[in-house]
Amino acid sequence: MVKVIIAEKLLKANEEIAAVNRRLLEGKGVVMVNLIGGPGAGKTTLLEKTLPLLTDKFCVAVIEGDIYTTYDAERIAKTGVEVVQINTHGACHLDAKMIGDALNQLPLDELDLIIIENVGNLVCPAEFDLGDDYKITISSVTEGMDKPAKYPLAFREAYGVVITKTDLLPYTVFNLGSYVEELFKINGNLKIFPVSALKDEGIEDWSQLIGRMIWRKRRNLTVI
Amino acid sequence: MVKVIIAEKLLKANEEIAAVNRRLLEGKGVVMVNLIGGPGAGKTTLLEKTLPLLTDKFCVAVIEGDIYTTYDAERIAKTGVEVVQINTHGACHLDAKMIGDALNQLPLDELDLIIIENVGNLVCPAEFDLGDDYKITISSVTEGMDKPAKYPLAFREAYGVVITKTDLLPYTVFNLGSYVEELFKINGNLKIFPVSALKDEGIEDWSQLIGRMIWRKRRNLTVI
Contact partners, residue B157, CB within 8 Å, separation at least 6: B126, B135
**Burial environment of residue B66 by CB neighbours within 10 A (0 to 12, 13 to 18, 19 or more):** buried
b (16+ CB within 10 A) / e for B35-57: bbbbbbbbbbbbbbbbbebbeee
> Mean pLDDT of residues grouped by 10 in chain B (224 residues)?
68 96 97 98 98 97 96 96 95 96 98 98 95 98 96 95 98 96 95 98 98 91 59
* Structural domains in chain A plus CATH codes: 2-223 (3.40.50.300)
CA distance A106 to A114: 9
Looking at residues A132-152, what average pLDDT do you find?
Answer: 97
Residue type, A133: D
| Min Cα separation B206/chain A (Å) | 22
Looking at residues A108-132, what average pLDDT do you find?
Answer: 97
CB pairs under 8 A between A and B: 104
Half-sphere exposure of A78 (CA within 13 A, CB side): 10
The DSSP symbol for B170 reads G
Q: What percent of chain A has pLDDT over 90?
A: 91
Contact partners, residue B210, CB within 8 Å, separation at least 6: B31, B33, B50, B54, B113, B115
Contact indicator for B90, B66 with CB cutoff of 8 Å: no
Contact indicator for A192, A148 with CB cutoff of 8 Å: no
Contact indicator for B104, B76 with CB cutoff of 8 Å: no
Contacts of B149 in chain A (CB under 8 A): 69, 71
Neighbours of A86 (CB within 10 A): 21
Residue A176 banded pLDDT, cuts 50, 70, 90: very high
Length of chain B: 224
- 3 state DSSP class of B124: helix
Taking CB atoms and an 8 Å limit, are B122 and A119 in contact across chains?
A: no
pLDDT reading at A60 higher than 90: yes
Taking CB atoms and an 8 Å limit, are B39 and A142 in contact across chains?
A: no
- 3 state DSSP class of B116: strand
> What HEC string does A104-169 produce?
CCCCCCCCCEEEEECCCCCCHHHHCCCCCCEEEEEEEHHHCCCHHHHCHHHHHCCCEEEEECHHHH
Looking at residues A124-148, what average pLDDT do you find?
Answer: 97
**What is the Rg, in whole angstroms, of the alpha carbon atoms belonging to chain B?**
17
Taking CB atoms and an 8 Å limit, are A142 and B90 in contact across chains?
A: no
What's the sign of the alpha-carbon dihedral A184, A190, A194, A198? negative
Task: Using CA coordinates, name the residue in chain B closest to A119.
Answer: B123
CA distance A172 to A150: 19
CA distance A103 to A84: 9
Residue A9 banded pLDDT, cuts 50, 70, 90: confident
Q: Give the ipTM of the model, two decimals please.
A: 0.89
pLDDT reading at A96 higher than 50: yes
CA distance B150 to A120: 9
Taking CB atoms and an 8 Å limit, are A150 and B68 in contact across chains?
A: yes
Q: Which of residues 28-47 of A touch B (CB under 8 A)?
A: 38-40
What is the reported pLDDT for B24? 98
CA distance B153 to B148: 8
pTM of the predicted structure, to 2 decimals: 0.93
Q: Between B203 and A9, whose confidence is greater?
A: B203
Mutate to test the interface with B, among A140, A143, A172 (most CBs of B within 10 A): A143
Taking CB atoms and an 8 Å limit, are A40 and B147 in contact across chains?
A: yes
Taking CB atoms and an 8 Å limit, are A120 and B120 in contact across chains?
A: no
Contact indicator for A135, A161 with CB cutoff of 8 Å: no
